[in-house]
C-alpha cells in the first residue's frame, strides 16, 4: 500500500511554494479543448448539447429531453428511500434558516448631513444558473447549497444545470431536492457545454446572468472564457481540505477527518498540518486501516491525493508555523482540532470555512449544518468567502437630498467639479439649478 506524502518542514525557514499549488492552478491543458465546445454550443445550441451528452456523459438513451420533464420528478419521488428524503428535508431547513438570517434588509438610508440621505437597496439578480456536478457521484447537497440562497434572495428565475446520467436523466435525489426547495427548471447539460448553454442560451436552455456552483477544471475553464457574457461567481473548483492539529489531538481522529475531502477525486487536495511528530506519525499509521473501510473507488481517490503532490502530512517546527502555512494555503475547508479551537481560530485569516473541535467534521458542514458548503478554492479564500445570499443579490446605491440639505453639499461638490475640470458637473450645482426649479421650466 502507498505511503502518504510526508513533508518535514521542521528545519525549513521559508515555506516551500510548491506545497501551495493545486491541480486547478494550471488549466492550460483545458483551454484549447474547451474552445470548440463553447463554439459548438454557440452555433448549434440544443443539437450540440445532445451530441455532447452522448460523447462526454455517455448517454445511451434513444431520447433525451434537455429539460427535465414533470414525470421525471414524480418517478424520482416514487423511487427514493423515505429516509433519504427526510435527510434532504432536514438539511434544507437548516440551510434555509441560515441564509434567511444572512439576508440583508431590503433598503437602508442614513442621514449623512441634515436633509441629505444615502443608503443601499438590495435587489435580487433576475436569473441565476445553479451548477450541480455529477461526474464523481450525485450531489443533491450541492443543489441545496446553490438553490436555497437563490430562493431566499428572491431570484425570479433560478434554474439548475447538471450532467445527465447514461439513461439521459437527472439523478433521483437531485430531482427530489429541487422540487422540495422550489426549483422548477432543471436542464441536462454539464461541463463546459453547460456553462456555454447558460452563457449564450439555446433553443431550450435560457440565457442567465450568473452561474454559481462547484465544477471540474472543464467548468472552471469555461467560466473564465465566458466571463464577459455571464458572471462566473465565486471560484469553486476541485475540493480541498486541511486539518490543523496541535499536540493535544488524537491521531486517529485527525486521520479520520483528513480522508474526508481526499475522497472527492484525484484532482482534490488534502493535508494534515501539525507541529507534533507524534500526531503526524500516528495519522500515517492510522490511514491504511481507514482506507480499508472505504468503498474501493473512494479509497483509491484518497490514496492518490494523500500519497501524491497535492496532499499528505505537513510537519512544522512549531504551531505558529503551522498557522502561517494554513493562512498562506487559504484552504476551502479547514478543521481545527485542538483543546482550544476558538483561540486558534482567532489567528486564522484565510479559509473558506472553519470547523471547530472534535465534533464538527467537514461532513456536517458539507451536508446539514447550515452554512454554505460552496466555498472558494485555489487560494481564492484570501479575498473571497462562501457562496451566500449576497451572491444572488446586487446593491443599488440610493441618494436623497432635500431642499434643506442641498446648499451645503452643492457648495462642496462645486469645488470638486471646478478643480477636476468638469464644467457641466459644476453647472448642475450652480445658482442656475435653483433658478430653473423656481421658474418651473
Active site residues: 332-333
Q: Give the bridge partners for 113, in sequence order.
A: 116
Pairing between strand 393-401 and 269-274?
unpaired
CA count, 13 A, side-chain hemisphere, 174: 26
What is the distance between the alpha carbons of residues 215 and 228, in angstroms, rounded to a whole number? 19
Which triple of cell numbers denotes residue 253? 481522529
**Total residues belonging to the chain:** 441
End-to-end Cα distance, the chain = 86
131, three cell numbers: 451548477
Residue 396: in which H helix or E strand, if any? Answer: strand 393-401
Task: State the pairing for strand pair 127-131/210-212.
Answer: parallel
Q: CB of 214 within 8 A of CB of 304?
A: no
E-strand spans in 326-381? 333-337, 353-356
Contact 329, 19 (CB under 8 A): yes
Cα R_g (the chain), whole angstroms: 26
What is the DSSP code string of 2-29? PPPPEEEETT-SS--GGGG--GGG--HH
Amino acid at each position: 500500500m502507498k505511503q502518504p506524502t510526508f513533508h518535514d518542514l521542521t528545519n525549513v525557514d521559508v515555506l516551500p511554494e510548491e506545497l501551495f499549488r493545486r491541480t486547478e492552478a494550471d488549466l492550460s491543458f483545458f483551454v484549447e479543448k474547451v474552445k470548440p465546445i463553447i463554439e459548438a454550443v454557440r452555433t448549434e445550441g440544443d443539437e450540440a448539447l445532445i451530441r455532447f451528452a452522448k460523447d462526454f456523459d455517455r448517454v445511451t438513451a434513444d431520447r433525451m429531453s434537455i429539460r427535465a420533464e414533470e414525470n421525471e420528478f414524480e418517478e424520482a419521488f416514487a423511487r427514493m428511500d423515505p429516509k433519504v428524503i427526510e435527510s434532504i428535508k432536514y438539511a434544507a431547513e437548516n440551510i434555509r434558516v441560515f441564509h434567511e438570517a444572512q439576508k440583508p434588509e431590503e433598503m437602508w438610508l442614513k442621514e449623512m448631513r441634515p436633509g441629505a440621505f444615502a443608503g443601499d437597496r438590495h435587489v435580487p439578480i433576475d436569473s441565476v444558473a445553479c451548477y450541480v456536478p455529477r461526474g464523481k457521484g450525485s450531489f443533491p447537497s450541492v443543489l441545496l447549497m446553490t438553490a436555497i440562497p437563490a430562493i431566499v434572495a428572491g431570484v425570479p428565475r433560478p434554474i439548475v444545470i447538471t450532467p445527465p446520467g447514461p439513461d439521459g436523466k437527472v439523478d433521483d435525489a437531485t430531482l427530489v431536492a429541487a422540487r422540495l426547495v422550489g426549483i422548477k427548471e432543471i436542464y441536462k447539460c454539464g461541463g463546459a457545454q453547460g456553462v456555454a448553454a447558460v452563457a449564450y442560451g439555446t433553443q431550450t436552455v435560457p440565457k442567465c446572468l450568473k452561474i454559481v456552483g462547484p465544477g471540474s477544471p472543464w467548468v472552471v475553464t469555461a467560466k473564465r472564457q465566458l466571463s464577459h457574457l455571464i458572471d462566473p461567481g465565486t471560484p469553486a473548483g476541485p475540493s480541498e481540505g486541511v486539518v490543523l492539529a496541535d499536540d493535544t489531538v488524537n491521531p486517529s481522529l485527525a486521520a479520520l477527518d483528513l480522508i474526508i475531502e481526499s475522497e472527492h477525486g484525484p484532482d482534490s487536495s488534502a493535508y494534515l498540518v501539525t507541529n507534533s511528530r507524534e500526531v503526524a506519525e500516528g495519522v500515517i499509521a492510522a490511514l491504511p486501516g481507514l482506507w480499508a473501510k472505504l468503498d474501493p473507488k473512494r479509497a483509491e481517490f484518497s490514496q492518490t491525493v494523500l500519497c501524491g503532490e497535492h496532499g499528505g502530512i505537513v510537519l512544522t517546527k512549531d504551531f505558529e508555523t503551522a498557522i502561517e502555512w494554513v493562512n498562506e494555503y487559504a484552504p476551502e475547508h479547514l478543521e481545527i482540532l485542538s483543546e482550544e479551537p476558538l483561540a486558534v481560530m482567532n489567528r486564522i485569516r484565510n479559509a473558506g470555512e472553519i470547523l471547530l473541535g472534535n465534533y464538527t467534521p467537514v461532513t456536517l458542514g458539507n451536508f446539514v449544518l447550515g452554512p454554505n458548503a460552496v466555498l472558494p478554492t485555489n487560494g481564492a479564500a484570501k479575498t473571497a468567502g462562501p457562496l451566500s445570499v449576497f451572491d444572488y443579490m446586487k446593491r443599488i446605491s440610493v441618494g436623497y437630498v432635500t431642499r434643506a440639505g442641498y446648499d451645503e453639499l452643492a457648495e462642496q461638490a462645486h469645488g470638486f467639479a471646478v478643480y477636476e475640470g468638469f464644467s457641466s458637473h459644476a453647472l448642475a450645482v450652480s445658482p442656475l439649478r435653483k433658478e430653473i426649479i423656481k421658474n418651473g421650466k
